Each structure stands twice: as C-alpha cells, then as structure tokens.
C-alpha cells in the first residue's frame, strides 16, 4: 500500500492516475469527523477494496457511507459508483 508522500532525498513521489492501493477507510456520513475521525472508520483497506465493498451494498444504502482516502479526501456514493466503472479499476 502506498502511504503519504515522502520527501526522502527530495524524490518526486507523484504518480499519475488513480492510486487504487492507497490506504482508505469506510465511514458513515453522519459520524461527525473531528479529532478522533480515524477511530470512527468502520472498515479499512486499499481504496480499490473499499470501492468494491461499497458497490456490494444495496444502492439505496450507499448514500449513508463514504470512503476517506489517504490525505483526507472523501469519496461519496455517486463518485464511488463512477470510480467502480473506471477503465483502470482493478477487477480483483
């Protein structure tokens, strides 16, 4: 899994495309964020694993969850559904 970018030797760590193996966690939309947000995650894994998991939920329940990816970026139901159809999405 990739993690937050490093500055070791000032190497460029930016990679093109979607980083499917970044760390991510699944959260309820109404969990309140805040200082202990990291502890409120319901499930963790790679970004691809959580996109796959969220797509297994019934469509009407997906809106109740979001994926928080490394760097505090949030992906909500509609965006997750779009990402699951992306050409580079790993099938397994």
Residue 72's pLDDT is 75
Instruction: Say what the pTM is.
Output: 0.77
What is the percentage of the chain residues whose pLDDT exceeds 90?
Answer: 59
Residue 59's pLDDT is 94
Q: Which two tokens stand for residue 52?
A: 């796959």
Q: How far apart are CA 61 and CA 1, in angstroms?
A: 28
Q: At 34, is the pLDDT very low, low, confident or very high (cuts 50, 70, 90)?
A: low
The length of the chain, given as a count of residues: 92
């Amino acid at each position: 899994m990739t993690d937050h970018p490093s500055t070791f030797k000032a190497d460029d760590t930016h990679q093109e495309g979607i980083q499917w193996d970044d760390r991510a966690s699944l959260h309820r939309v109404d969990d309140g964020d805040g200082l202990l947000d990291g502890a409120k995650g319901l499930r963790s894994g790679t970004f691809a694993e959580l996109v796959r998991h969220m797509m297994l939920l019934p469509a009407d329940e997906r809106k109740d969850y979001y994926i928080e990816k490394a760097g505090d970026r949030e992906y909500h139901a509609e965006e997750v559904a779009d990402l699951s159809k992306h050409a580079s999405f790993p099938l397994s």
